[in-house]
Amino acid sequence: MNYNHVMNTYSPQEVTLVRGEGCFVYDDKGNRYLDFLCGIAVTSLGHAHPQVTQALQNQVGVISHVSNLFRNELVGELAEIIDQKISSAIRSATGSSVSGKVFFTNSGAESIECAIKLTRKWAHGRRNLIVGIEKSFHGRTLGALSATGQKDKQVNFEPLVPGFAHVRLNQPEDIDKVLGKDHAKDTLAAIILEPILGEAGVWPVDIEFVRELVATAKANKALVICDEIQTGLGRTGRWFGFERLAFEPDIVTLAKSLGNGFPIGACWARSDIADAFVPSDHGSTFGGQPLACSAALATIRAIETNDLVANARELGQWLISQLGKVDGVAQVRGEGLLIGVELEEGIQAKKVSYKALTNGLIVNPIRESTIRLAPPLILDMDLAKTGLEILGEAISA
């Protein structure tokens, strides 16, 4: 395969995927792989899901693009459904009644950029500090990269966007250390967090730590941005990861699984905050275009009608408990179908994932000794057992 003109930003496996169906993908040699990664937590409904396929086929024959200079009813419909989902999750997690508005994007990083710009506009330039968590990941564009808490990803791209600081994960004493100096609290515009740090290796954020972080933000009239790009839409066995942590986000970012593979992201904000934006403050050529919206509407409806959030919760619990018994596994972290498998010392995640791939299972060696699993929410018990078996064999090999 000729990859000579592809920029060298990834090291793809020597496997060419050509087709997908349900929980499986197929390579150009006809080999079948059970997909326990879903792109990277993208195809929650599995591949070629009939409802999404049908929605896209219908839409492409009707009108395939509408710019934001005109109205498009799918934008209004999708924004309403996303608002209903987020508002009702906030109500059940905290009792608060809120309603919000959505800006559509084409990726996770763009959803984060929108959250950063909205925060800055809302804060009217009076406050410009956004505090994130070390090891967090929010994307690769410069704003999202500056919010990200990983120096190794930032170092070659300085100067970063100013106005970001980070506290260590689950270390409440850091909150005062970072915000206690140089009048930082007076300049605090927002905190940003992932409910579970996915790219860092699936590290859940502690409830107590979040409570303090959120309380600090609220006490200082700063916003709480919840990055649900990886954890949202049922992945953790709840519609949103913030439900476990029972806090009220002011801004929520989505992408990845929203279009089940069709690129679309969203930035939701409570209406009083969203209203800081006026025409010409922000925009996107493709954001909210009808193919993307129809894929997202079909995806959300399929998650709902097939009760996939409950499925993710139940199979996730089972997988997490079984993985804990596998020889060579030191720790299992995560919730629902976002799972981090920490391997015992001396076992390399890359070797395990390569062995699993050879035996027909796709997993993700996200850190040296950590495997990330993000199987589709349509997984069933038989396929969960198959995946567990192949992974167990790969670890022992």
Ligand X SMILES: Cc1ncc(COP(=O)(O)O)c(C=O)c1O
- The residues that touch ligand X, with contacts defined as CB under 6 A, are 40, 107-109, 112, 137-139, 194, 198-199, 227, 229-230, 255
Residue keyed to tokens 């600090």: 216
CA 253 to chain centre: 8
Q: For the CB of residue 139, give the shortest distance to ligand X in the complex, in Å.
A: 3
Q: Of 185 and 256, which has the nearer Cβ to ligand X?
A: 256
CB atoms within 10 A of CB 295: 26
What would you report as the CA-atom Rg of the chain, rounded to the nearest whole angstrom?
21
* CB of 136 or CB of 187, closer to ligand X: 136
Q: Shortest Cβ distance from residue 198 to ligand X (Å)? A: 5
Least distance in Å: CB of 184 to ligand X?
A: 24
Of 108 and 334, the one with the shorter C-beta distance to ligand X is 108
142/147 Cα distance (integer angstroms): 9
Closest-approach residue to ligand X (CB): 108
Q: Which of 395, 243, 336 is nearest to 38 (CA)?
A: 336
Closer residue to ligand X, CB minimum distance, 109 or 384: 109
Encode burial over 231-242: b for 16+ CB neighbours within 10 A, e otherwise.
bbbbbbbbbbbb
At closest approach, how far in Å is the CB of 161 from ligand X?
15
Nearest approach, Cβ of residue 200 and ligand X (Å): 9
For residue 162, count other CB atoms closer than 10 A to its CB: 8
CB-CB contact of 89 with 242 (8 Å)? yes
Show Cβ contacts of residue 183 under 8 Å, excluding neighbours closer than 6 positions: none
Shortest distance in whole angstroms from residue 358 CB to ligand X: 26
Rounded to whole angstroms, how far apart are CA atoms 329 and 384? 17
Q: 22 vs 149, which CB is nearer to ligand X? A: 149
Would you say 20 or 149 has its CB closer to ligand X? 149
